[in-house]
Structure 1
Amino acid sequence: MKKDLLNILACPMDKHHPLKLIIFKERKKQYGDESWDEVVYGILICEKCMRWYPIDDEIPIMLPDDLREKEKDITFLRKWKEKIPERVLEEGQPHHL
């Protein structure tokens, strides 16, 4: 995910903007003479409603609650729990540990 996307992304549930970005892993991308940092893994957090959205393999997965898969969300939280704020782990919506 390009960091520039933060300028346009909003929480799909309450439309809050901006979202908080926490980067777990990033890599340098280049196309011709242009280069940028791409977020490979991370999390987007809506600090208004405490919903969180994973960034998985450069793709922000911003689905509404009814389309999210609990098992995948819990697996993501467990995998990255050392880098995720405690409040999200304990109170994050729609799923938490």
Structure 2
Amino acid sequence: MKRSALQDLANFLPEDLLTVNAATPAGVPIDAITAACSRAESVLALLMAQFNAVDDTERLNDHVIANVLWDVQGTIGLIRTLAIHGDSTTYQAVAGKR
């Protein structure tokens, strides 16, 4: 029995589906990595402010905090994908394979 395309995509996270475009030049995409790191740092700074507040009257719901942490996990996955691209294409360029 064949599964539909919708069922095949049912359990993927965004970072599981994102890849570096095959036309991307070899090398370390440092600007993209830096931007992703800055985004993650900003999200974490906002989250840390939640726990440094004087009173708890404006605390975010637990599901919002969980989604913030999940976002940072996804961004780290994106950074990993970019770093692996940089590593593998740099190695290929040095070895003369690209």
TM-score normalized with structure 2 length: 0.26
Bigger helix share = 2
Bigger strand share = 1
Compare CA radii of gyration and give the structure with the larger one. 2
Query: Higher relative contact order at CA 8 Å, sep ≥6: structure 1 or structure 2?
Result: 2
TM-score normalized with structure 1 length: 0.26
